[in-house]
Chains A and B, each alone.
Chain A
Amino acid sequence: MKRTWLWIPLALFGLFFGVMAVGLSKPSSTTITSKMIGKPLPKFSLPPAHAPQPGLGSASFQQGQPRLLNIFASWCIPCIAEAPVLLELTKRGVPIDAIAIRDRPQDVDRFLKRNGNPYQRIGSDVNSAVQMALGSSGVPETFVVDGRGIIRFQHIGDIRAEDVPEIMAALRAAR
């Protein structure tokens, strides 16, 4: 009986060592999903991100039809990879609005000329205020907002061709 008790400290040490080893070998980088899903879009009104297109306000998401809200920036590299997929979505009839994060009009212009423009409206969020109000933690991110302005779905990172079915399903579910 006494013999078995003697092993307990070693067993505890082993357990502790194991937990530490796992923690060290797999550094935690957590994807932070927005807790705003299922809640109404926060009220906002953003000025145009570049001259030819209108700015964006939360009122645009009350038109009875689900829309995509894309968070992007001209300085964001994965946003370039995402651009052709967004154009493909507009060809399928998906309305997309955008918020440009910390961006200058001339940079937005250049980005859209080079990569195509899938957006109907683009609001300029120079100090990430609306991004934070949405619970978004980076660029690019895309929200599905239903026709009554409720956030239904969030996609973190660039939308790739293989993500399109999931986005389409989320749009259908938001109808």
Chain B
Amino acid sequence: MRILALALLLLASPALADSQMPDAQWANTQLPDPQQERAAKALMEKVRCLVCQGQSVADSDSDLAGDMRSLIRTRIAAGEKPDTIKAWLIERYGKWISYDPPMSGITAPLWIMPLLLLVLGAWLARGRFRKRKSG
């Protein structure tokens, strides 16, 4: 009985929920021009994958991430600026898509807090040093 169950398990194939199409042309192929490839790679690392949220499109294996890498490489090869492509993506998916959040009302604390903490730390340290000198 157990052997039969095991045999059936071996025969069962998982339901496939992935495209049968080959990868897009520039999904996993570097651009011939190293400078363009560098610019494309830098942008891919800052674009968040829509399927595997928490990964960049440079790291994700999902089909959509591959297609997005291909789109980025194609546009960079056509001479588009990385910032233009990033703006195009933000226009469609919102700021969420970018791992490099621009300064705005909501993200301001992220940028300002470290500076504030540094100033606070310096102030605290100054107090400590003063005390030691006088004592």
CB contacts (< 8 Å) of A135 on chain B: these are 91-93
A103 CB contact (under 8 Å) in B21, B90, B92: B21
Q: In the complex, which range does the number of interface residues on chain A fall in?
A: 20 to 34
Contact of B63 among A28, A128, A129 (CB under 8 A): A128
A132 touching B92 by the CB < 8 A rule?
A: yes
Say yes or no: is A40 at the interface (Cβ < 8 Å to chain B).
no
CB-defined contacts of B51 to chain A, threshold 8 Å? 137-138
The reply on A102 being an interface residue by CB < 8 A is: yes
- B67 at interface (Cβ–Cβ under 8 A)? yes
For the complex formed, measure the closest distance between the CB of B89 and the CB atoms of chain A, giving whole angstroms: 8
A25 within 8 A of B: no
Q: Write the nearest CB–CB distance from B103 to chain A, whole angstroms.
A: 19
Stretch at the interface among B11-19, B38-46, B124-132: B11-19
CA distance A44 to B26 in the complex (A): 21
Which of A34, A35, A107, A127 is B67 in contact with, Cβ under 8 Å? A127
Chain B residues contacting A35 (CB-CB under 8 Å) are: 90-94
B19 x A75 contact (CB < 8 A)? yes
Indicate whether A29 reaches chain B with its CB closer than 8 angstroms.
Answer: yes
Q: Chain B contacts of A145 at CB under 8 A?
A: none
Q: Which residue of A lies closest to B16 (CB)?
A: A75
Q: Residues of B contacting A29 with CB < 8 Å? A: 53
Tell whether A34 pairs with B71 under 8 Å between CB atoms, given A104-B20, A128-B63: no
Q: For the complex formed, measure the closest distance between the CB of B135 and the CB atoms of chain A, giving whole angstroms.
A: 19
